[in-house]
Structure 1
Amino acid sequence: MYIIKLDAIGSTNAYLKELTLTSIPQDYTVVVSEHQTNGRGQMGTKWETEAGKNLTVSVFKKISKLNIQEQFYISMCVSLAITETLRKFQIKQLRIKWPNDILSANKKICGILIENIIKNNYMVGSIIGIGLNINQKFFNDLSQASSLSLLTGIIYSKEEILSEILKQIQFYFDLLESGKKSFIKNKYENQLFRMNKPSTFKLNNDETLSGIIKGIDNVGKLIIWTEDEIFRTFDLKEIKLLY
């Protein structure tokens, strides 16, 4: 494992992506920064973080045994690695909000940005960006955000948490590479936020939809049993859970 530590960077994901333009980095190359000035979330959203308080890290993982249609397994592995890590630090009520936000007590504490590298229709690697709120105390107007310290009153060691996250990421990717896809998918679905509970969603045309999350399909789309008793699947850009 090769770890690059930076004081400040626009985006750890962008830093790793630039490295891949010349050659494929070493497996489990890690970039961690004390301050990220231009962090990104899903669908181009901005990830804001207070300097020195949180974990902003990106990991390069070589991918050789997944086809393009199976790339959501990467997201599942990382989500499970984060929740497993946080359980070891006694964080309660952990859930994965599809596709890969990590919640505790309905508050978002971690965001994950997966950027896969595909060449000649084959996956060769994945850049895994993780923003974990650890010791930050104030989130301005972000009412649904929280941090480990706010949840428990404890000041945490970022290095200790990063070490455990990297350990768990390796564990889950080892499972994936050994063919344990059904195990990973079942464990992911068992931790989905609002699984099997009546919920309200907003569609990309601004209409609302009532239904029950029943899991994900084989490519990671969300399966919802609607009030019309019809199973429908949705991609990330098509639906948003309201909570």
Structure 2
Amino acid sequence: MAAAPMRAPLRQEVLRGALAGAGGAGAGGLWKSIEVVATTGSTNTDLLARGGRSGQVLVAEEQTAGRGRMGRSWVSDPGAALTFSVLLRPASVPAAKRGWLPLLAGVAVATAVRAAASVPATLKWPNDVLVGERKLAGILAEQSGDAVVVGIGVNVATPAEALPASPAGVRATSLLAEGADVARDVLLVEVLRQLERWYLAFGADPDPDRSGLRAAYLAVCGTLGRRVRAELPGGRTVSGVAEDVDADGRLLVAEPGGTSPTPVSAGDVVHLR
């Protein structure tokens, strides 16, 4: 198996400067600090343990114990992926609407990939970032008290032959494998810009329709209109056509013979052919 090529290390002073020039990483922007470390177990775990003010960004060149949704592990070669977490304190967002934050992060990543790499990224509900049916990035949001930490991992420069098999049965991909050569710092700055844009808009008006978040999500969601199987906690499954995402961020699945769509709020969704 070929090793991923090493890329230039991320430099936090360059990232700070780029975000400051875009209106972030300053007194008036969302991002208050950006730190780059060579290696850590999990950036999510580190930020949850650290606590502190909203707007922290922690980036790792290598994660040795990264994790994704449903308890899955996330592994990357040093310098080949973009792995980072952000700490937010969404005081203005009611608890009932915080389920939209993982979907908001998905919108930010998919939009940033399209803008920075010209790769047509889409979302598999709730927030797996795909190219076609191949997984490009994963997002894990975790809450502790009034803090929400969002961890993001994007395969950037891993060659196709070095990509790991997905435990969920979804093939992995990378920007390099999709023919895109984009610097990780450029992609990171764009993701943070998009996160700031949508987080501030949703925080100012935590209604997914009035803020435009639901429309933006539907525009990049590749699950809608597909036959799917939703594997729910407890072993139950729901199969049918994914019709919509409701105001609570739930996937609405029309089961054969059902009188109304079944809302799915948590679980693993499989796209069926």
Q: TM-score, normalised by structure 2?
A: 0.78
1:141 to 162, 165, 186: 165
CA distance in 2, matches of 1:102, 1:7: 25
Runs of 4+ aligned structure 1 residues displaced above 6 Å come to: none
Residue equivalent to 2:262: 232
Residue equivalent to 1:60: 87
Question: In the alignment, is residue 31 of structure 1 matched against residue 53 of structure 2?
Answer: no
Residue equivalent to 2:150: 128
Task: Confirm or deny: 8 A CA contact 1:92 1:105 kept in the other structure.
Answer: no
Question: In the alignment, is residue 91 of structure 1 matched against residue 91 of structure 2?
Answer: no
Note the alpha carbon deviations across 1:71-108, whole angstroms, 9 max, x for none. 12211221111111111124333211111111111111
Residue equivalent to 1:8: 39
Please provide the CA RMSD for this pair: 2.0
Tell me the matched-pair count: 232
Residue equivalent to 1:178: 204
Task: Confirm or deny: 8 A CA contact 1:76 1:185 kept in the other structure.
Answer: no
Amino acid at match of 2:164: N
- CA apart distance, 1:240: 2.9
Task: Confirm or deny: 8 A CA contact 2:34 2:58 kept in the other structure.
Answer: yes
Note the alpha carbon deviations across 1:198-221, whole angstroms, 9 max, x for none. 334445566764311122233322
Greater fraction of residues in strand: 1
Amino acid at match of 2:173: S
Task: Confirm or deny: 8 A CA contact 1:39 1:46 kept in the other structure.
Answer: yes
Note the alpha carbon deviations across 1:222-241, whole angstroms, 9 max, x for none. 2101111331112323x532
Residue equivalent to 1:164: 190
Question: In the alignment, is residue 116 of structure 1 matched against residue 143 of structure 2?
Answer: yes
The percentage of counterpart residues that share the same residue type is 23
Amino acid at match of 2:253: I
CA distance in 2, matches of 1:134, 1:55: 7
Task: Confirm or deny: 8 A CA contact 1:2 1:26 kept in the other structure.
Answer: no
CA distance in 2, matches of 1:59, 1:127: 6
CA distance in 2, matches of 1:186, 1:109: 22
Task: Confirm or deny: 8 A CA contact 2:38 2:62 kept in the other structure.
Answer: yes
Query: Where does the alignment leave 5 or more consecutive residues of structure 1 unmatched?
Result: 119-123
Query: Where does the alignment leave 5 or more consecutive residues of structure 2 unmatched?
Result: 1-31
CA distance in 1, matches of 2:263, 2:126: 13
2:217 to 167, 182, 188: 188
Task: Confirm or deny: 8 A CA contact 1:201 1:209 kept in the other structure.
Answer: yes
CA distance in 2, matches of 1:78, 1:208: 26
CA distance in 2, matches of 1:64, 1:208: 34
Task: Confirm or deny: 8 A CA contact 1:95 1:191 kept in the other structure.
Answer: yes
